[in-house]
Amino acid sequence: MLTMFVYGTLKHGERNHERYCSDALRVEEGAVRGELYDLPLFGYPELIVPEESVRAFGTDDPARDTELQERLVPWHPSTPEGPLVSGEILYFDDAGSRLPAIDRLEGFDPADTSSHYRRVLLPVETEEGRALLAWAYAVREPSGTYLPDGRWPP
């Protein structure tokens, strides 16, 4: 099963949800360690995460990425403290078609190190306090307005 953490236009009620995520098997609230930035001219946010939170980087092989997600342990002793970013955890059973489509939407190309977004595997905490790993799109450097409450839209 593919698990993704979304915090912007892929969330329920936002402009890209219906096309890319409306058939999720399950949706629940969650949070990751990081900072959120708003880009109002473009209509989307950017996520910055501590490098020590990143458990893996996305590849061009959805099956391998999903297997890696299922195999790794969500939390480890060096899990950083810091601000939280709120979003949704989405569960899918079709990683082979889902990841490439969302990668294209996010402008993520695993072969291009200059891609705006990186797809990263992060520890996510559910509202019930469960820990899991989910793929999310993060940038290296922010270019927007910091959202101190970690929620988008502001």
In sequence order, what are the beta bridge partners of 121? Answer: 56, 135
Mean pLDDT for the stretch of residues 31-39: 96
Q: Cα 123 to chain center, whole Å? A: 10
DSSP 74-127: S--TTPPPS-EEEEEEEEES-HHHHHHHHHHHHT--TT-TT-S-EEEEEEEEET
Domain ranges of the chain: 2-147
Mean pLDDT for the stretch of residues 120-128: 93
Question: Does 1 score more than 50 pLDDT?
Answer: yes
Question: Does 40 score more than 50 pLDDT?
Answer: yes
Report pLDDT for 151: 97
Question: What is the model's pTM?
Answer: 0.93
Report pLDDT for 77: 47
Question: Does 2 score more than 60 pLDDT?
Answer: yes
Q: How confident is the model at residue 114 (pLDDT cuts 50, 70, 90)?
A: confident
Q: How confident is the model at residue 122 (pLDDT cuts 50, 70, 90)?
A: very high
Kindly state which CATH superfamily the domain 2-147 is placed in: Gamma-glutamyl cyclotransferase-like (3.10.490.10)
Tokens 């989910």 map to which residue?
134
- pLDDT tens figures, 42-76: 999 999 999 999 999 999 999 999 999 999 977 65
* CB atoms near residue 45 (< 10 Å): 25
